[in-house]
Structure 1
């Protein structure tokens, strides 16, 4: 792999997992989709938000892949390879879901999830994301943003997917120009109507070289 700082994380201590998850909760403090899913704005003071990110990272460690750059993991990415997916029936994830306010939980499970799955199939084509590498979480702690760490993670993930000769899929609510500059192609856009706002999410794909 081309980046000397880029590495796969195979294990994290409880303290490391908590620290990284708290940093991610702060980094996502203004993310509208996280707000709609959780029923509150993420912060390092929210046990629910911290455990939400813990569940994503734990899923990557268990069934997918977790990558990081920089000292002390200031930037982290969770992805799943071809044929793999996040287990939303894990104890960690079920615990998080059970603590989300009822109205937000209903929205997440009965509106967002259904619309998201339809969106993914329309944007990429049937089974494309399942047969590709796809990112479920990318975050950079506040104090290390705008230093190129997110770009480095994405470029290295493109390299991982390229080695496997598959595409890399990613959906986000932010910075479309940023992803396009890295060679991702926008293939779809969807709007989710939550209780408080309309959230726009875009689907991107980076395809392997012919």
Structure 2
């Protein structure tokens, strides 16, 4: 696993395109973006670019493999990706208004309550927080995601709407669960909150 300080623009686009394909069935990304992520959606590609660039700017980005088939974006204690990050503002500004309003008025309110119950009010930002963990579709089930998830030697917080069995098998403890009523026919979206505590041995 390699910490990254920079990623070339063409490489960033390719990796983001692969992540958009990998998250093509993620219902929360669908609700936020107003469309299912895909490697043909410029909005979805820029969505993942924004996460990676925010990590490079104010957090940490770790990759596996020469072609970056797997990547994790994390933020350390006291740091986060906020709505004022320029690339993120650009993405959100292109999202359909109804989805943008749902994210601000419903999702974010419920999410803050959710993580407060999961970790204690204001405590998520006391630990390293995984913002994004993704593996290129063709390289999934090869242990790359496991390598990224298991590498940390510090407490980690993480939420996911997909693959809960994967994180449970790695020893992440599920501490809370929430169901959002997503708009526009998406239906109910379930999200799990996890914490990983490093071994003291």
TM-score, normalised to structure 2, is 0.96
Tell me the SS of whatever aligns to 1:48.
helix
Q: Is 1:101 the counterpart of 2:75 in the alignment?
A: no
User: 2:147: which partner in 1?
Assistant: 152
User: 1:56: which partner in 2?
Assistant: 51
Q: Distance in 2 between matches of 1:108 and 1:146?
A: 32
Tell me the SS of whatever aligns to 2:40.
coil
User: After TM superposition, which residue ranges in structure 1, 4 or more long, deviate above 3 angstroms?
Assistant: none
User: 1:45: which partner in 2?
Assistant: 40
Tell me the SS of whatever aligns to 2:121.
coil
Among candidates 5, 12, 20, match of residue 7 of structure 2:
12
Q: String of CA shifts for 1:138-157, please: whole Å, max 9, x gaps.
A: 1001110110100100001x
Gap regions ≥5 residues in structure 2: none
Alignment of 1:131-150 (within 5 A): 131-150=126-145
Gap regions ≥5 residues in structure 1: 1-5, 162-166
Number of aligned residue pairs: give it. Answer: 198
Q: Is 1:72 the counterpart of 2:67 in the alignment?
A: yes
Q: Distance in 2 between matches of 1:189 and 1:87?
A: 23
User: 1:117: which partner in 2?
Assistant: 112
Q: Distance in 2 between matches of 1:62 and 1:28?
A: 23
Q: Distance in 2 between matches of 1:27 and 1:174?
A: 11
Among candidates 165, 177, 192, match of residue 202 of structure 1:
192
Q: Distance in 2 between matches of 1:85 and 1:13?
A: 23
What is the root-mean-square deviation in Å for CA atoms of aligned residues? 1.0
